[in-house]
Structure 1
């Protein structure tokens, strides 16, 4: 009874915080709701017996990713009012992406019609709890059955990191930047002047 009650509490808080992530007007509040959602997801993982996943959620996502998002949002000088002005320009593209996602969700939810054997294919044999630990079972499943998806997720994160670097490297007026090629091309005669100062003629 206690586990069932905890499950419903964690699930309700997770769904509520997820809705607040996308509906909050302040981006800082949105990141804080995201951190709260990660904690609720970690609680659900503990209820399912996946302590390793719960620890990863708290350490990696809450301790690194979400805090990084929070600092990036607070440090970047983003004019959100200006970003909202071009909302109608991207509305057709956003609607198309939304329709594609809805079609994918419909295929997933109707998998018993499209692929009748999908339910049996998703069920992997569960090893004995006493023989294999939680972390070992997760590693075997991730690096054998889902190794290509794991590599694809790493590539997506790499592309996202490169995109974040490109977005932050904006050309700004009045900012002096180092040009290594110009520095290496300078000659001694251009920067050093040798003057003969007579005795007693110096300052």
Structure 2
């Protein structure tokens, strides 16, 4: 067993453990941090397979953007199951542990170096030999996997709409909006035009009707 196989099994074990922790923690913030570690470990696995584009996209898009939105949703929904609002220091140990594991995985990838890993397969051997993996992904995504790609886009759109609807639910002590009532508003119900006679000041300063 070479060093690359050892690195693969270690990264896979970390990814599986953190994935189980996502659904095991009671604290939603701890679950989000575990999901960040899961995404990062998966990105390291992509790098081992020489799929650099997928690994970088997973880090930049999911960890850098989507997970931040997850944190915002957790805070907006207020889905705390334990006494919260004790400050950032309560989550600091978990954040340090996640950062330490991510740093260890980076060192592990540096140890792998530029070893000969098996390239991603392709239906066209010439394309696999001369094109980059970005070209390979584009060719596969918009030809053979076009329907699953569009289906995933629709599912993500529905998820975004549902998340917005959840934030608009009525809760005690919060202000809510009813979009259907706002659309039916008429100008005559909200605005009243009042006609007033113009006035001018006389020489002694007293207003006079004109």
TM-score, length of structure 2 as denominator length: 0.65
Deviation per CA, 1:152-193: give whole Å up to 9, x if none: 1111111111111222222457737594653523586x2435
Count of matched residue positions in the alignment of Structure 1 and Structure 2: 160
CA distance in 2, matches of 1:52, 1:4: 21
- In 2, distance between residues paired with 1:201 and 1:176? 46
**In 1, Cα distance between the equivalents of 2:145 and 2:190?**
57
Matched residue, 1:43: 44
Partner of 2:175: 175
Structure 1 unaligned blocks of 5 or more: 82-122
Deviation of the 1:15 alpha carbon: 0.7
Q: How does 1:130-169 map to 2 (within 5 A)?
A: 130-169=129-168
- Please state how far the C-alpha of 1:74 moved relative to its aligned partner: 2.0
1:125 to 2:123 alignment = yes
CA contact (8 A) 2:18 2:34 kept: yes
**TM, length-normalised to structure 1:** 0.67
Cα separation, partners in 2 of 1:26 and 1:176, compared to 1, 3 Å: closer
Query: 1:2 deviation in Å?
Result: 2.2
**Which runs of 5 or more structure 2 residues have no equivalent in the other structure?**
83-120
Aligned partners of 1:5, 1:191: CA distance in 2, in Å?
A: 78
Quote how far apart the aligned CAs of 1:56 are.
1.0
Deviation at 1:75, TM superposition (A): 3.0
Which structure has more relative contact order (CA 8 Å, sep 6+)? It is: 2
**Counterparts of 2:190 and 2:68 in 1: how far apart (Å)?**
47
* 1:1-203 matched pairs, under 5 angstroms: 1-78=2-79, 80=81, 125=123, 127-128=125-126, 129-171=128-170, 175=175, 179=182, 181-182=184-185, 184-186=187-189, 190-194=192-196, 199=201, 200=206
Structure 2 counterpart SS, 1:182? coil
Cα shift readout 1:22-75 (whole Å, capped 9, x = no counterpart): 101100100000001100000000001111110110011111111110121023
Q: Decide which moves more: 18-27 or 155-164.
A: 155-164
Task: Give CA-to-partner distance per residue, 1:115-163, whole Å, 9 cap, x none.
Answer: xxxxxxxx86253444221011111111111111111111111111111
- The structure-2 alpha-carbon separation of the partners of 1:11 and 1:169, relative to structure 1 and needing over 3 Å to count, comes to same
RMSD of Structure 2 on Structure 1 (CA):
2.8
C-alpha change, 1:187 and 1:56, in structure 2 (3 Å) is: closer
Cα deviation per residue 1:91-110 (whole Å; 9 max; x = unaligned)?
A: xxxxxxxxxxxxxxxxxxxx
